[in-house]
Amino acid sequence: MFDKIKLFCFFASFANFAFAQVWSQLPDLPALERDDGVAKTINNKAYFGSGLRTGFTLGGDFYALDLVTNTWTAVASMPAGAERQYAVAFTYSNCLFVHGGSGSGALLFSDTYRYDVTTNTWTTVAPKPGSAVMAASSFTLNTKAYVFSGRFASGTVSDEVWEYDMITNVWTQKNNFPFGGRWRASAATLNGVGYVMFGKDNAGSIRKEIYKYSQSTDNWTKVTDFPQPKGRYYVGMQNAGNKLVLLGGIDTLDNYHNDCWFFDDATNTFSAGPVLPSFGRKGGMCCSNGNNFYYSCGVTAVTRVKETWVLDILAGFRENENKATFSIFPNPCADVLIVNYSYNNTNCKVELVDLLGQIVFETNFDSFIDKKINISHLEKGIYFLRFFSEEKLIETKKILKE
């Protein structure tokens, strides 16, 4: 067991070095750890919330991550009694919609809530007709959201597909998914096409196929299989950098994954991306903004977490650009923190940020020069050291002040 731990630490450290320009750790979600919540992006803010929290309590609380400053703000919670996990979410204009999921006991929801970011208020809109489902998947095409499959209260997996018009507030049932239902599948939109992948079917099999949906013909087509031996579910999937980005999940052998994959719709092929430099996980909340893929919380093989990470998709494909070595020691640290780095640019800066996003220290750097930062006056706790070049965030490291 000890050898396995050492091996993991080595690969985690290697991944953090090799992909320093790709994965960056952001401040943790400022609330309880959770899984099976929802996340969506509106106007350069990512909204995360709901889910099953540490202590097995259902969440209706929501938080906005400012994607410019990487700071968190608590926003209005869902109304009392609407707390849930396994919901789906979609957006239009300045509104976030949260639909379905499971509540306390065997309760499943068919309701839909709309959150207006401009007024910070929640209102109820039309519920989905028919039976409620949990752990469905959804994607958006133009002004319409598509809610795919999920699991009924009976335990049967649904093959239904429903369309929700976010302008007219009307639900319409579409053709059933012809390949058998899935729950805890992954779904996203790429170049005007809806994609669904992974999930567990009615027979309990964990799938590995990817399908695409034609809005004009209301038909589904199988595209290809995931190029790994096992299927998965609880995988994060979003459109970022003009590709589908997939992260983590759990397979048929209960292995928790931290690998990342890209799907290219031009060639219908997958390619391996940078491994998340942390433990494998499932059921986290993910969203995207331009070329960035955001992932927060989830469950590892041991516990729930509230780590938040961002993946720069374009950086994953850049070659021979400014290569960086950015290390800090000691960590944990009680007094003097040493920053050791090299970067092919002289316009560099570091910021030390607390959990509230407040900058407690900042300084400009010249390349190839170590810097000593006196943190003895700071309160004990967690801080984040952010490294910038040309005013662009390159990497974030977590620091424990003793």
Q: Among 256-260, 321-325, 331-335, 370-374, where is mean pLDDT lowest? A: 321-325
Percent of the chain at pLDDT > 70 equals 86
pLDDT of residue 396: 72
CB 241 within 8 A of CB 274: no
CB 39 within 8 A of CB 286: yes
- State the pLDDT confidence band at 314, using cuts at 50, 70 and 90: confident
pLDDT tens for 336-376 read 988 776 555 566 778 887 766 678 888 876 654 567 889 99
d(CA 192, CA 88): 19
Q: Give whole-number Cα distances, 83 to 100, 103, 310, in Å.
A: 11, 6, 27
Cβ atoms within 10 Å, residue 371: 15
- Pair of tokens at residue 33: 């750890």
Q: Among 120-129, 300-309, 329-338, 340-349, where is mean pLDDT lowest? A: 340-349
Per-domain residue ranges of the chain: 2-317, 324-401
pLDDT surpasses 80 at 8: no
Q: Which fold has domain 324-401?
A: Immunoglobulin-like (2.60.40)
d(CA 315, CA 66): 21
Q: Which of 53, 56, 50, 111 is nearest to 83 (CA)?
A: 50
Strand 392-401 relative to strand 269-272: parallel, antiparallel, unpaired?
unpaired
d(CA 130, CA 37): 23
pLDDT surpasses 70 at 18: no
pLDDT tens for 234-276 read 999 999 989 999 999 999 999 999 999 999 999 999 999 888 9
How many helices (DSSP H) and strands (DSSP E) are in the chain? Answer: 2, 34
d(CA 236, CA 67): 19
DSSP 299-335: E-SS-EEEEEEEEEHHHHH--SS--EEEEEESSSBSS
pLDDT of residue 200: 98
Question: What is the helix (H) or strand (E) element at residue 11, kind and residue range?
Answer: helix 2-18
- Pair of tokens at residue 254: 């209960």
Q: Give whole-number Cα distances, 54 to 9, 51, 103, 305, in Å.
A: 25, 10, 15, 9
- Pair of tokens at residue 289: 């903004």
d(CA 25, CA 326): 14
Position 154, amino acid: S
pLDDT of residue 38: 98
- The overall pTM is greater than 0.85: no
Structural Rg of the chain based on CA atoms: 21
CATH H-level superfamily of 2-317: Kelch-type beta propeller (2.120.10.80)
Cβ atoms within 10 Å, residue 269: 11
pLDDT of residue 249: 98
Mean model confidence pLDDT for the chain: 88
